[in-house]
Structure 1
Amino acid sequence: MNARLEASLGDITAEHVDAIVNAANSSLMGGGGVDGAIHRAAGPALLAECQALRQGPLPRGLPTGQAVATGAGDLAARWVIHTVGPDKHRGQTDPALLASCFTESLRVAASLGATSVAFPAVSAGVYGWDVGEVASTAVGAVRGMVDGGGAGSMQLVRFVLFSPEALAAFEAALASDCAP
């Protein structure tokens, strides 16, 4: 069974899905944008889990394009999957690195048994990527994982966007992805 892919305008911290994806920085200690909002809404339990990751398996932080899960603290979701998007301002311009954020997050979600996941527009904010390019890359990567069986028993992938412009870009990418 293929997962349903959809886009909506909203606040990712309020999503009632199994897992939400955090557009994290490599330190995993919170920051601005989506990352800061998720840390604030999740409460201190999320930061404690991120600190444990840094003191254990990720002493140098999470590498760009990779993903790791924690509990979700006070959020409606069960898990937060952290991924570090490429930063165009630092010369990280490879679309494959951006696509990896989405595929690796889905792999982690599948390994947890998640059947629903919500993504933000990873790297479309302060990391300087054009939201249209992010949308096209994200939808292509997610569709490839779902169609290829790498997303486990995923039933729903929702892109939760922060602006009408981002929503329009993701809706266009989803529409063109479904075209014959």
Structure 2
Amino acid sequence: MAKIMDRLLLFIYSISIGVISVIAILLLSGAVPYEVTPVQEQRLFLTGIIIAGILLLMSIRFFYISVRRDRSNLNSIDQRTDFGEIQISVETIENLCLKAASRVRGVKDLKSRIKVSQAGLDIAIRAVVDGEESIPQLTTEVQKQVHDFVEDTTGIPVASVSVYIANVVQAPSFKSRVE
């Protein structure tokens, strides 16, 4: 909810600054002639101070947002043990997935993606296979290897491992040459 409110405030702030800039340019360039009575001048002065105060408060808010450290945007999984806190980067887990999947014979050109959910890690593996093995058996073996290796290595529960077979690599054919 706070992010939605911040986005709305940033939108209003941007529009306000844009409108004020256009009005200032038009008035200062003389494109729009104006005459002000003393009563109107006093109202304009008061309105200007109120708008400037609101824009100043919004500027302070956006400055705070830009410099604060947001824990939710850190790309790591945090665990607490008896001895302290452990942080494992998502990149580390992706590399562990690739290491485990590469151990399966017949799998090539691997990529992995990790999503963190309440149930654990959701791991997606993209692979190219050589076509020499049964694809259902191959994908089951990749799922089992990745699931077991990541859970054993990191201690983080793995909710699911999905495997996407992107293509089959054609084995290069060699012609025997007789001389």
Same fold by TM (over 0.5)? no
Greater helix share, structure number: 2
Structure with more relative contact order (C-alpha pairs < 8 Å, separation 6 or more): 1
TM-score by length of 2: 0.23
**Structure of higher CA gyration radius:** 2
Greater strand share, structure number: 2
